[in-house]
Structure formats: structure tokens, C-alpha cells
Structure 1
Amino acid sequence: MFALSPSIDPSVSALAPDFTALSILVQAAPVLRPQVGKEALVQACLDMLQDDFPWAEAHLTQWAEMFKHFGAKPKRTPCSADALRKRVQRDGSMAAIDPIVDLYNAVSIRFAIPVGGENVAAYVGNPRLTRADGSEPFDVYKEGVLSHESPEPGEVVWRDDAGVTCRRWNWRQGVRTRLSIEQTQMWFVLERLPAMPLEALQHAGDMLEQGIQQMMPGAIIERSLLGNINH
């Protein structure tokens, strides 16, 4: 099993002392049932629309308030879970993209929680959640062309030694570490604020792990909690 040690900078802990994340490392195995991702996505959309969790909207509201605390405008750049769920509310479903992306999007939609999926092989050093100084590089496609920009000073970002991997905490993932089913070393991070019960965070992790094992039997999975694990 490969090693990866995600961390949370004290500057973020001061901003969000009750933030908790579930970190899941996956050493992939041969994919035998790629349809698991799409099936999970379809079911998650139905569950969200017909039997949503009672705390779901409160959790997304907390994320919107948290974004305001570091200067982001959640209506323009919402957290990833809010953006996904609004698409489902508008369209009634979501189109499949990639088996592993579909699976972690399904978890995000079902549990109203931002979920990131990363290609570990593309990392330079370990991932860390921190506040940007504004000089860090971030790669993104604009109108189909790869370009580079930088976060705002004070913005909460995930980054490694080479630059930012996800802007505005969990709003937009960079190109360099983007995950697909072809990668063999995967890292997932499920990000929770206290409106979401800690037990529900673990259940979200269970859904992701079970889907991965169904999709690629024999995958090796390790999970750990980051941040405040007492609330």
C-alpha cells in the first residue's frame, strides 16, 4: 500500500474548529463491474429527491456560511455538493462521466457532502488544506484550453508542493490531479461540518468503500479521520 499523509493547517483549524474529514486511500484492483458507479449515481439522485436526510440542507447552509468566512461568494462558487445537488434538482438526474467519478459523486449527492477524488500519482508531496497567499499556481481548462491562475489571498485551498489542487476548499478541482478509473492510486476526502452527524460521515465512507469493492474486488482500502473528531 502506498503512503499519503493529508493534513490540515492550523490557519484552517482556526477558521473551522469543528471541521472533520474522512480520508480514504485506495490501491485499485482490476475493474470488473464499471457499471457500479452509474448505478450508484442513479440511485443517489432518486434518494435525494424522494428521501433526503433531514440535516442535508442545514449542512449545505453551513458550507455556504463557511465560504463567506474566507471571502468566497457561495452563490457564484458554491461548495461541490451544493452544485451537484442543484443540478439534480433542476434535471432530475445526472449524466454518467466515469465509473469512479460517478461513484464519488453519488456519495456527495446522497449525503450532501463535498467529496474529492484525486490521482495520487500526480501529487508532489502530501496534500494539505491551508489558506493561500495568492501566488500558488492552479491549472484549469478555460474554453477547452489549459491555463493557469492563482487563488485569492486567504482563500482556503487544498494543495501539494507543486501548487493548488482544489480551489475554494472544494469548489473546483485542478486538472493535474484529476481522477479517473484508469488510475491505480486513489485518494478520496469527504468533508463535514457539524450540521452533518459524525455517524453519517462514516456511513458516507461506507457507501464509497462498498461501491469500490463491488467495482474492483480486491482493492485495498485504508481510512482515517482528519480534524475535529469529537463533534
Structure 2
Amino acid sequence: MINEIWVDEAVRALRPDFAVLVVCAYGLRNGPSDDRSRGWLAAAAADAVPLDHEKIEAWRAAYRAFGAKPQRTRPSVDALIRRMPLPEINLVVDAYNAVSVRHGLPIGGEDLRRYQGTARLVRAAGDEPSDEVLGDPHIGEVVWRDDAGVTCRRWNWRQCVRTRITEESVDALFLLERLEPLSLEELAASGDELAALLAEISPQVRIESRMVA
């Protein structure tokens, strides 16, 4: 699957500086938050990118470019930084949330076994299947989707229920999203940091990654 993930040209036209680091993790043993993951969250909160940082502003500008209002539906990293202290969800989600706020980039985590077909980032036609949590996407809205429908609305605003990572998730897909001024080098380093935390959770985990830029 990792080699099939793609970004539509209409999204690239909107933000030519967009890149996504795709990380797949196989053989996870997830579980409830513990003292270790609480430590990751606390350390990341202490070192979080400030809300007025240009990395966060870049995402607000991207939202405005496709007609969203970022003060009402916030980019995921913007919303997460506002939720200090960071929420405890489960080990895997805690890991990627910690990386997200430290580096100021949105990260989506998906249960790979619940995916149907290939993940792709597109501008919505407006008739894509969606769930009650997400609601129907607007025409031209940037969405992640698979063959079954929308998995995340407004680029990285809100995820569907179907593909959420739970304590039972074994294989996972992570989407680390970048806009300038975050460099491709920092994006790669963020992926390495996430992989290291996943290996702490599950020493036997197998990691694959691919930059889509």
C-alpha cells in the first residue's frame, strides 16, 4: 500500500510546498496510556511550537485557500496545541501527538487493517461517502479518502471513526504532513522520532516509510 499512496494534482496546485511522509508500522502491540507515554506528552508540551509560529500559520493559510475558516475548524496541530495538557488516548496516539506538537506538523494515525484500497489526498467532488462524525465534505475541500469514503476532512481537521487507532490496532498508517517553512529534513527527522517511539512500545514492530513530495 505504501507505494500506492498519492496526492492529487489539484491539491499540489493549491500548495506546491506540500509533502507528506508516509510511515507504515506492522506488528504493533498498542495499549492504554502509561507513565512512559505520559512522560512523552509532558516533555512535548514543554517544548511545543507556539501557536503564533509560522509553521502553524502556514496551515491556517492553507485552510483559507480551499474555503475553510481555521478559527472554526482548526488544523489538527493547531487544535492539539490548544489542548494542553495533551490528552491521553493510548500509547500509539500519545506517541504521534507528542511528535506533532514538538515539530509543529499535523500527523494522522490510521488503522491500516480498516482501510479499503489506497489512501489519497484529493479535493472533494462533494459526493464522497462520509460518516456522521465528519459530515459531508464541501466541493473543493481537501480530504484524505480511501475506496470506502472520506477518512479525514479538511486536510487534517477531523478523522472518521472507521479508521481510528485503538488499543486493538496492530498495523497502522501515519501521515506526517508538511508545509514550508518546515523543512524536508525536519519532516524526515520527525518520522525517525515517531519510529523510535513505536519501537519502544513494540520492539518487534516493522517500519516502512516513503516521502511523497
| Range class of TM-score, shorter chain | over 0.9
Q: CA RMSD in A?
A: 2.0
Segment drifting more, 148-157 vs 168-177: 148-157
Counterpart secondary structure, 2:47: helix
Contact 1:8 1:130 in 2 (8 A): yes
* Residues 20-40 of structure 1: per-residue CA shift (max 9 Å, x gap): 111000002445996343321
Counterpart secondary structure, 1:87: coil
1:156 and 2:155 matched = no
Q: Relative to structure 1, is the Cα distance of residues 34 and 210 closer, same or farther in structure 2, using a 3 angstrom cutoff?
A: farther
What are structure 2's unaligned runs of at least 5 residues?
Answer: none
In 2: Cα distance, 1:199 partner to 1:42 partner: 25
**Aligned 1:53-202 pairs, distance under 5 A:** 57-88=53-84, 93-141=85-133, 149-202=135-188
Letter in 1 for 2:56: L
Quote the residue 1:40 is aligned against: 40
Q: Relative to structure 1, is the Cα distance of residues 114 and 140 closer, same or farther in structure 2, using a 3 angstrom cutoff?
A: farther
Counterpart secondary structure, 1:149: coil
Counterpart secondary structure, 1:96: coil
Segment drifting more, 157-166 vs 11-20: 11-20
**Aligned 1:190-229 pairs, distance under 5 A:** 190-227=176-213
In 1: Cα distance, 2:59 partner to 2:28 partner: 34
What are structure 1's unaligned runs of at least 5 residues?
Answer: 142-147
Counterpart secondary structure, 2:116: coil
The structural deviation recorded for 1:152 is 0.3
- TM-score norm. by structure 1 comes to 0.86
Contact 1:22 1:189 in 2 (8 A): yes
Contact 1:116 1:188 in 2 (8 A): yes
In 1: Cα distance, 2:131 partner to 2:39 partner: 31
Segment drifting more, 148-157 vs 26-35: 26-35
Counterpart secondary structure, 1:41: helix
Q: Relative to structure 1, is the Cα distance of residues 98 and 18 closer, same or farther in structure 2, using a 3 angstrom cutoff?
A: same
Contact 2:30 2:168 in 1 (8 A): no
Counterpart secondary structure, 1:118: strand
How many residues are paired up? 211
* Residues 83-136 of structure 1: per-residue CA shift (max 9 Å, x gap): 011222xxxx12311111111111111111100000111111100000001111
Letter in 2 for 1:211: L
Quote the residue 2:20 is aligned against: 21
In 2: Cα distance, 1:24 partner to 1:114 partner: 13
The structural deviation recorded for 1:166 is 0.1
Letter in 2 for 1:82: D
Q: Relative to structure 1, is the Cα distance of residues 198 and 110 closer, same or farther in structure 2, using a 3 angstrom cutoff?
A: same
Contact 1:37 1:211 in 2 (8 A): no
